[in-house]
Structure 1
Amino acid sequence: MDVLYFAWVRERIGQPSDRIDSAPVTVMDLVEELRAREDRYAAAFADLSALRVAIDQELSDFDAPLQGAREVAFFPPMTGG
Structure 2
Amino acid sequence: MLDRTNGLAAGRLRRRIPDGSTPHGLRKAAARRLAEAGCTPLQIMAITGHRSLKEVTHYTLAVNQVALAEEAINAIS
Which TM bucket (shorter chain)?
Answer: under 0.3
Richer in strand (by share): 1
TM-score, length of structure 1 as denominator length? 0.27
Larger Rg: 2
TM-score, length of structure 2 as denominator length? 0.27
